Structure 1
Amino acid sequence: MQFIAGTPVGIISDALEIVEIKLWETYLLHNRTNVNQALNQFSIDHGPVENAQHEPGRIAYRFYAENWENDIKHILYENRIPVVVKPTYLHTKVSRSKALHMAEV
């Protein structure tokens, strides 16, 4: 099996890269340029993510990597809003034969 950066090639072709960010909510509440509206518009969930590991005062958003690089990162940088970035992969397809095989087991 071939690996690229530690991930099997078949998984990479079926996955979308997403970026999850965490930021302090006060930066959005005291911002006059309405960054919150842009974050909600571009986010995968159209708003903050409900997270089991929620920290008081912090909120999390998920974006497709392309939207993060082209739009969101620049908006946050221009408004000097610090974030914690966590890139991940979202598996989008499971082949039907693999799903049937898993159901039979």
Structure 2
Amino acid sequence: MEKAYKAQKIVKVDLESQLKAISAFEAKAVATAESYVKDIDTKLVDLRETIENIEKARPIEQLTVNDIIQAKPEIVEEVEALIKEGKFTVPGYEGKFPNLAVA
């Protein structure tokens, strides 16, 4: 057993290349994480603004037609175009809200 023990040789392994690869991977992971954090922070600011707007919004029962036209003036143009074409139904309305009238 002593002969086998003395025959053992310690082999030195060069880990420098593996450590460099790990360091490069770590640097890339950190950069990606920092970019992700910046994106999330931006989205959180937008979400906070949206929540604030929702909390400050009036209930839908209090909205008037003029409020809607002021918020989306293109609606008036779309409605006028439909009336000029003689279309008095909204495209896609029947698909979402089928006619429940008894014929």
Quick check: which one's helix share is greater? 2
Quick check: which one's strand share is greater? 1
Q: Which TM bucket (shorter chain)?
A: under 0.3
* TM-score using structure 2 length: 0.21
Larger RCO (alpha carbons 8 Å, 6+ apart): 1
* TM-score using structure 1 length: 0.21
